[in-house]
Amino acid sequence: MIPAVLRKNLLSLYVLCAFLFLYIPIFVLVVYSFNQGEFPLQWQGFSLHWYHELFSLVEIWRAFQTSFIVGLSASILSLCLSMILLYGAKKFPYPVLSLFYVNILIPDIVLAVGLLSLFAFFWVPLGLVALIIGHTVLGLGFAIPILRARFDEMDDFLIEASYDLGASETYTFFYIVIPFMYPALFAAALLVMIVSFDDFLVSFFCAGSSTQTLSLYVFSMIRAGVSPTVNALSTIMLFISSVLVFVISWFNISGLEKKS
């Protein structure tokens, strides 16, 4: 028999265990990134040695530069394609935008293998261009739902009023639709950047042998042997991702407060 007090708080206990299961490994990773010792399981004192060693590596800055270029390019292309699709989908009676929700549903390995097969069929060389294309396709599955939710809130009378006042379709798009979409555009851009930085499978299948992103660099470091520099790099990536998620949440909260 389960005690009444335990039955009453069983759901809370389950949620607490789930959060501990998720966040204890991250907490251990962050703590041992400041470990002076070489072996992660033996604490030998607080030190920033592994951060100094990490920032002295030339390869990591090359990998970061590649990830930044790919993430920024994928964000810009995802936003541009998403806005074109959203604005043009009103003229089609079929739910064509629903096709892009598949990116969220299917496993990343399926998308990565499909992109690799497509590049091989069209003789597209693997590398930076293939990475940007792959991350753009991946980012569309995250950008379109965010932008569509904001776009559906827009009153059609605003667009009709712009046309009635003599504005062209291009003028209406850039001076009516785009300013209304600013919060969603910024949130979607940050989210695509986060997904691009954290992605491994698409990068692994599309990068080839000449290009290396941060995720591939971490993978190569782990294959060569466990080093506390991996903890330091993961902690920095965690901090950057957390800041971006906080900014996205802040924009969403600000948008809800403006509506109310």
What is the per-residue pLDDT for 238? 82
Q: For the chain, what percent of residues have pLDDT higher than 70?
A: 87
Domains of the chain: 58-259 (1.10.3720.10)
Q: With beta carbons less than 8 A apart as the criterion, state whether 160 and 130 touch.
A: no
Both tokens assigned to 146: 């965010």
- Name the percent of the chain in helix, strand, coil, to the closest 5: 80, 0, 20
Q: Kindly report the pTM of this predicted structure.
A: 0.78
Name the phi and psi angles at 247, rounded to 5: -65, -40
Helices vs. strands in the chain: H and E counts, helices first: 14, 0
What is the per-residue pLDDT for 146? 86
The 10s digit of each residue's pLDDT in 191-229 is 888 888 888 888 889 888 788 888 888 887 777 666 777
Both tokens assigned to 28: 């251990």
Contacts of 68 (CB under 8 A, 6+ apart): none
What is the per-residue pLDDT for 3? 66
The 10s digit of each residue's pLDDT in 122-177 is 888 888 899 999 999 888 888 888 888 888 888 778 888 888 888 888 888 888 88
What is the per-residue pLDDT for 70? 92
Whether the CA torsion 137, 141, 142, 143 is positive or negative: it is positive
